[in-house]
Structure 1
Amino acid sequence: MSQSPHNMDYDSSGPPIESEISTSAEQLINNNNNNNNNNNNNNNNNNNNNNNNNNNNINNNNINNNNITDMDTNTTPTLPAISQGPILKFPYSLSSLHWDEDHLENKESVYCYCGKEKAKIMISCDLCKQKFHLQCIRLLEGSLQLYGDWVYRFSCSVCAGRESFERFSKNWVDILEITLFNLQDQKHRHVMGVVYDEMPGIDLQQPLSSSSTTKKSLSSSTSSLSSSSSSSNNNSLGNSPQIQSPKFDSVNSIMDPEDQRFQYFSFDQEIVPFVEINWNLLCSDKKKKLHWQKQLSQALTNGRIFKSGLVNWNMNGYWALGTDQLLLKDNTVFKDKVLAPINNKKRKKKKSSKEEERDKYLTKLLLIPNKESLFVPTIEYDIMCVAKENSAPQIKIGPDQLTVSNEKGYRMARASYPCICGDWYFEIDIMDDVGNCRLGWSTSRGDIQANVGYDQYSYAYRNSQGDIFTSGRSQPYSEPYGKGDTIGFFIRLPVTPNTKPNEVNFPFINQLDVYDLVSNEMPPIPVAGEEPQPPAPAEPLPGSFIMFFKNGVSPSTPAFQNINKAMYYPAASMYMGSTVKFNFGPTFKYPPQDLSFRPYSDILKKK
C-alpha cells in the first residue's frame, strides 16, 4: 500500500457497517409482488373476502408507493429496471454532463444509476467520478456514511462490471476533521431553522425514524424550509441519516455565523461525545481503549489543521476546524496519493488534459496543510498575534502572544498573518537591555533559524549599531536603540497592473486560493533523481519601500526600496535573552505623521 501523510491502513476487518436504513427499491418491489400474489391467492380461495382483499391491495400499494415516493418523482432519466444482475449502463450519457471546476456538481443535476438529483451524502466512483446515492449502491444496502467521509475506494458496476467498495483506516486527525465538519454542519442547520430534539437512550448510530425525532422551526419564516427539507430527495436518496450530536453548551450557544467563535466546539461536551456516539462509523478498525480521549486530544494539538479556542479567544477546551476543503478530498487523484490503489485500475474514460491538470493541482493544494514546514495563514489563527507555528521552536512566546524572547543564538518570530498589498504599520517595544535584536519584515522563505535580514527574504533594523540588514549585508541607517524605545515599522506594497484580485482581497478569499498563494511563495519541490531547481529570481515590486522609526523619528529616505514582491510578515529575531513586545494596533505610541497607513491589526478587517 502506498504511504500517505495520514498513514492510512487498509481495513480488511469485514463488510461495511450494517444498520437499519430505508428499504431499497428492489426489496420494495419484491415485497409488493409478494403482497399481490398473496392477495390473489386469497381471492381465489375465498370470494367472500374480495372486497377486503382489494382494500388490502390498495393499502399495500399505498404503503409501497409511499416508501418509494422519491424514487418515482417526475425527474428524468428514470431508474433503470431492477434485475438480479448488476447495472451495466447509465440511463443518460455520462460524457454529456457539465461539471463544476471541482467536480462536485453538474449543471444537469443528473447523478447515480438512477439519474436523479444529488443528495447531501454521495459516494464517488474512482473510475468515472460520478456520484451515487448510498441507497442505490446494492453493496452498501443498510450502511451509513458520515457527511464528508472520503476515506474509501468505490467502483460502480457500470465501470467495473460489479460494485467494489473498500473502507480504510482513519487516523485521529481524519476522525477529528470529519467530526468538526459534521458539528459545524449541524449547527448551521440549527441556525437555518431545522433542528432535531435530543432523544435520551436512542442509539444515535442508527437512522432516527420520524417517531423518534421532532422537527422544529425556529421561526415562522423558516417553517417552509423545515417542511421542504423533510420531504425532499435528500432524505430518501441522500441517505443522510439523522446522526446527532450532543446539544450545544452554554459557551458555544453563539448562533451568529458571522461571529468567528460560532465554529468552536467543546472537546469534552461535544467533540468526544460525537466520536463516541458514532464510533462504528469513524473508528470501526480501532479498539476503544480506556483513555482513547487522550489520543484524540493530542491529535488536536498536533494536527495543524485545527484552531485552538484558548489561543484565539481564551476559551479553554474549545476547538474549531481550520480548513474548509474536506469535500474536495473525495477525489480520485487525491486518494491515489494517500490511500492504497483501487483494485480495478481501468478508468471508465480518459480525462481531458485540462481536467487532469486541475485534479493534480487540487491535490497539491490539499496536501499543503499536512506539510510541517509550511505555515498557512487562516488555518490556525483568527487573531493577529505571534504564531508559534510560524516561528522558530526555540522562541518563547508570552501568554499575551505578543511578547517574545530567545535564550541563545538568533532565532526568528513571525506574526500570524502577512500583508500582500497596501500601506501597513506596527510597533515593537524593547523590553530590556539583555542581548541583541534585529527587527523588521520577513517572507515565509526567511530562515527562522537565523536573524531577520540574514537572507534576501527578510529586512531588518539592528539595535546595537542602528544599521539595516538584508541578504546578510549591513548598511548605515539610523541610531541604535535599546530598553524603553519603541520601534515603528512601515511597509508600502503598491497595487500594480499585475496584482491579482486574491492578493488585494487577502485574507478574505477562498482557502484554496490561500494555499495557492502559500505554494507560490515556496521553492520548487525537489523531484527524486533530478537536480534541485534553483529558486525563481526575485521580482522587485516597483514603488514599494520599507521605513523604520525610533520613537516616531525616521531618516528622510526609506531603508529599502523596490523590495521583492512577496507576502510579508512582521518579524523579530532575538539573541542571548533579548525580549521584545509586538503592538499590531490599532492604537500606537508613535503613529507616523506624514504617511497614510492602516494599523496592521486591520489585516483581519474587511475593507
Structure 2
Amino acid sequence: MPIRQSTKSDLVISNSQPNESFKTNNQVVTNGRKYRKRSNSNNCTSTTIKKSKLVVNNINADVNDEFPYNCKGYRYYPVEKDRVNRSELFDDSNYVSSCSIPPHLYRLKLPSYVSLSPNDKENKLKLGSDLLTITGNEGYSTALATHSVSHGKWYYEVEFLRQPPVLVPMAATDTSHIRIGWAQIYDILQAPIGYTKFSYSWRSKFGTIFHEGKGKHYMNLKEGFREGDVLGCLIDLPSLNSISREKFSQILPSSHKDSHLIRSSKCQNRYSFAERHGDLEMKEKLQSLKSLEGSRIEFFKNGKSCGTAFTNIYSGSYFPAVSLYYQSKIKCNFGPVFKFSPPHDAKAMCERAVESIVEQTVTDLLYFIENEEEIEKKNADYLASLTEIDETVVEQFDGKL
C-alpha cells in the first residue's frame, strides 16, 4: 500500500477545551500560554501543528489553497465565520492569547458546485485544473467527490480517457485500470474503493465488482470496460418521504461545531475544523453499520445498464469515488448534461451542491437550539478571557509607550 509523503507546513490550532491535546501526523500538540501581539488576525489561537500535507495553487475559490489533505485518522473541514448572535462582540482582538476560540463561532464552508475534492484524495493522484479530470500514479489510490448523498437516487458519469500499458517489471497486470463507485468518508484513500466495508466499486478489469476486498462476477462479458468507454454510477437510497420523522435527524450532516478549530499560519484568516478518527472510533463505526433495506447500486456502460451490482448496502452518506492504478486517466461528469441519459427518476450529482447548503443550515440551527445554555457559557468565558488578556497587555506596555 502506498505511503503518504509528508510536507512541512504550519497550522495553528484552537481547541474547544484549552487543556486538550490534538495529535496530527504522530505529533502531539498541547495548548500553551503565550502572549504575543497580533498583526492581521481576527481571532486568538495558541498552538502550532508542524507537519501536514497541503493543497497548493488550487484555482477553485471555494477550496482553500492552504488546506491540509485528509488522511487516515484525520479529517479537516474548511470553515467561515458563522452569523451567530451578537457576532460583533467576537470580531477583532488586538492580541493573541492562551484563550481558545469557541468552534461554534464558525461553520462549514461548502463548495458551490460538485467536483472531485482536492483534499479528499491520495496526494499522489494528479487532479486537473477543472477538478474533474484526474490521473493515477503507481498503485491504486482513491479520490472522493466534494459532496455526498444519504437519501434519494443519484447518478454521475465517468469517461475513461486513457489506459496506458504498465511498464513496471513484475507488475501484477500489463495494463492500467480504474475502479468507480461510492464510498463513505471513512474509506481508505491509499487503497482502491471496495477494499473496506465503507465502499462499493466496479473494476475495469473483467468488470468485477468489489466490497470488503472481495470481488464478484458482475457483467456477462468478461472484457470489463476500457479506454473510450463512458461509465454510469447510480445509487438508490430511501427517499425522504419514506424516512420516519424520528430518524430524519440521522440523515442530516454533522455541524462539526464541537471539533477543534485550526488556523493556517500562512494565511491568518483561513480556518478549518479538525477531527481525529482513531482506531476506537473506527471500530465503533464498523460495529454500528446496518444494512439499508431496499438500497442498491447499479452501473452502466455506454448508456446500457449492466444490472444491479449491490443491494441492501450499509447505511450512511456516500460520495462518488474513483480509484486509479498506474497512469490511467478519467474525467468525472456530475451533470446536469450527460453523454448518456440516466434513469428518468435519478438526480444528477450536481444538484447536491444547493441541497447540501440547505441541510447544513438546518443542522447548524438545530445545534444552536439544542446547546443554547452551553453556548452562552462558552461565549461568556471567551469574552472574559479576551478582557483579562487585554488588561494584562495594557499593564505590560504601561509607561513604555
**Larger mean Cα displacement after TM superposition, 495-504 or 534-543:** 495-504
Task: Report if the CA contact (8 A) 2:163-2:327 is conserved.
Answer: no
User: Distance in 1 between the 2:293 and 2:311 partners?
Assistant: 8
User: Distance in 2 between the 1:476 and 1:464 partners?
Assistant: 11
Name the residue aligned to 1:485: 229
Match of 2:297, SS? strand
Amino acid in the other structure paired with 1:485: D
Aligned length: 280
Partner deviation per Cα, 1:491-548 (whole Å, 9 max, x = no partner) = 1110422774456666xx8564999xxx9x9966649xxxx76832421111111000
* Greater percentage in strand: 2
Displacement after TM superposition at 1:453 (Å): 0.7
- Percent identical pairs in the alignment equals 24
What does 1:150-165 align with in structure 2 at a 5 Å threshold? 151=44
Partner deviation per Cα, 1:460-494 (whole Å, 9 max, x = no partner) = 11101012110111111124111110000011110
Name the residue aligned to 2:59: 310
Amino acid in the other structure paired with 1:312: A
User: Distance in 2 between the 1:475 and 1:501 partners?
Assistant: 34
Task: Report if the CA contact (8 A) 1:489-1:547 is conserved.
Answer: yes
Name the residue aligned to 1:323: 80
Q: Are 1:553 and 2:304 matched, yes or no?
A: yes
Partner deviation per Cα, 1:59-83 (whole Å, 9 max, x = no partner) = xxxxxxxxxxxxxxxxxxxxxxxxx
Displacement after TM superposition at 1:311 (Å): 1.4
Name the residue aligned to 1:398: 128
Partner deviation per Cα, 1:24-62 (whole Å, 9 max, x = no partner) = xxxxxxxxxxxxxxxxxxxxxxxxxxxxxxxxxxxxxxx
Alignment counterpart, residue 577 of structure 1, candidates 327, 336, 341 = 327
Displacement after TM superposition at 1:148 (Å): 7.1
Amino acid in the other structure paired with 1:546: I
Q: Are 1:590 and 2:340 matched, yes or no?
A: yes
Amino acid in the other structure paired with 1:388: P
Alignment counterpart, residue 202 of structure 2, candidates 438, 456, 461 = 461
* Distance verdict in 2 for CA 1:471–1:505, change over 3 Å: closer
Alignment counterpart, residue 427 of structure 1, candidates 144, 157, 179 = 157
* Distance verdict in 2 for CA 1:408–1:380, change over 3 Å: farther
Displacement after TM superposition at 1:420 (Å): 1.2
What does 1:314-353 align with in structure 2 at a 5 Å threshold? 322-324=79-81
Task: Report if the CA contact (8 A) 1:148-1:327 is conserved.
Answer: no
* Distance verdict in 2 for CA 1:589–1:366, change over 3 Å: same
* Distance verdict in 2 for CA 1:459–1:448, change over 3 Å: same
Displacement after TM superposition at 1:570 (Å): 0.5
User: Distance in 2 between the 1:387 and 1:462 partners?
Assistant: 21
Match of 1:605, SS? helix
Name the residue aligned to 2:146: 416
TM-score (norm 2): 0.58
What does 1:247-266 align with in structure 2 at a 5 Å threshold? none
Task: Report if the CA contact (8 A) 2:158-2:332 is conserved.
Answer: yes
Task: Report if the CA contact (8 A) 1:420-1:503 is conserved.
Answer: no
User: Distance in 2 between the 1:3 and 1:605 partners?
Assistant: 36
User: Distance in 1 between the 2:195 and 2:83 partners?
Assistant: 38
* Distance verdict in 2 for CA 1:533–1:604, change over 3 Å: closer
Alignment counterpart, residue 542 of structure 1, candidates 280, 293, 298 = 293
Q: Gaps spanning 5+ residues in structure 1: where?
A: 18-145, 152-168, 174-297, 331-338, 343-361, 370-375
Q: Are 1:497 and 2:244 matched, yes or no?
A: yes
Amino acid in the other structure paired with 1:482: R
Name the residue aligned to 1:350: none
User: Distance in 2 between the 1:407 and 1:436 partners?
Assistant: 11
Amino acid in the other structure paired with 1:551: N
User: Distance in 2 between the 1:525 and 1:486 partners?
Assistant: 38
Name the residue aligned to 2:354: 605
Task: Report if the CA contact (8 A) 1:547-1:554 is conserved.
Answer: yes
Displacement after TM superposition at 1:432 (Å): 1.3
Higher RCO structure (Cα 8 Å, ≥6 apart): 2
User: Distance in 2 between the 1:314 and 1:10 partners?
Assistant: 32
Match of 1:554, SS? strand
User: Distance in 2 between the 1:481 and 1:456 partners?
Assistant: 24
User: Distance in 2 between the 1:542 and 1:310 partners?
Assistant: 41
Match of 1:588, SS? coil
Q: Which has the larger radius of gyration?
A: 1
User: Distance in 1 between the 2:65 and 2:42 partners?
Assistant: 27
Amino acid in the other structure paired with 1:422: G
User: Distance in 2 between the 1:575 and 1:324 partners?
Assistant: 40
Partner deviation per Cα, 1:174-205 (whole Å, 9 max, x = no partner) = xxxxxxxxxxxxxxxxxxxxxxxxxxxxxxxx
Name the residue aligned to 1:472: 213
User: Distance in 1 between the 2:63 and 2:259 partners?
Assistant: 26
Amino acid in the other structure paired with 1:497: S
Q: CA RMSD in A?
A: 4.6
User: Distance in 1 between the 2:248 and 2:285 partners?
Assistant: 28
Q: Are 1:448 and 2:189 matched, yes or no?
A: yes
User: Distance in 1 between the 2:321 and 2:63 partners?
Assistant: 24
* Distance verdict in 2 for CA 1:413–1:602, change over 3 Å: same
User: Distance in 2 between the 1:474 and 1:381 partners?
Assistant: 34
* Distance verdict in 2 for CA 1:522–1:500, change over 3 Å: farther
User: Distance in 2 between the 1:602 and 1:565 partners?
Assistant: 21
